[in-house]
Amino acid sequence: MRSQPATIQTFDLGGMTNKVISRPGADWEDAADEASFKPWSREQASAWRSVNPSLSPWRVVAVQAAAGLVCSALVWAFTQRGSAAGSALYGAAAVVVPSALLARGMTRDLSNVPGALGHAVFRFMFWEMIKIGAAIAMLLAAPKVVQGLSWLTLLLTMMVCVKMNWLALLWQRRPRVTETRV
């Protein structure tokens, strides 16, 4: 039995174009009616933002720093070696300092700079490259900076600090689901 060819249907849902590939027998017109989209007004968008604030990158940096201090204290408590605790602190710094550079670059107010919105992706990529370069430079300098460097302690602390990004997202309060009446 030969199947019938698929058709491409285009729907305009409130300014957004949606292309759907359908097979005979599928009722896409009903699905398009259910998925109608109406853009929010400026007031509705600001009301939603006030109820659902975004996560500050500085909060993530602070959580990473706190995790690094806790790791360093735990290493000191278990080993009683200053070089191991110093390695843990340096590992935390190798995550926190580059993250702070990225946060500073991304949170700078550029609202009065013409074309700043169009350069948002480039700006993120630039500061992410700065972050990666700073982390690599700090790791290359680690043997000269930390006496009696313990690579295992440094890397484990770095891993814990990097994983704090996810924990900070989990600690963020859950957004409220709101209905906006027009």
Would you list the domain boundaries of the chain?
54-171
Q: What is the 3-state secondary structure (H, E, C) of 13-70?
A: ECCEEEEEEECCCCCHHHHHHHCCCCCCCHHHHHHHHHHCCCCCHHHHHHHHHHHHHH
Q: What mean pLDDT is predicted for residues 78-92?
A: 94
Q: What mean pLDDT is predicted for residues 19-42?
A: 60
Q: What mean pLDDT is predicted for residues 48-73?
A: 87
Contact between 172 and 166 (Cβ < 8 Å): no
Rounded Cα distance between 108 and 104, Å, is 6
- On the question of pLDDT at 16 being above 70, the answer is no
Number of CB atoms found within 10 A of residue 28's CB? 15
pLDDT band at 35 (very low <50, low <70, confident <90, very high): low
pLDDT band at 18 (very low <50, low <70, confident <90, very high): very low
Rounded Cα distance between 100 and 77, Å, is 28
Residues 154-170 have pLDDT tens digits of: 999 999 999 988 887 77
The rounded percent of the chain whose pLDDT value lies above 70 is 68
Residues in contact with 13: Cβ distance below 8 Å, sequence separation at least 6, in sequence order: 32, 35, 36, 37
Rounded Cα distance between 101 and 127, Å, is 7
Alpha-carbon 120 to chain mean position: 14
Q: What mean pLDDT is predicted for residues 11-27?
A: 49
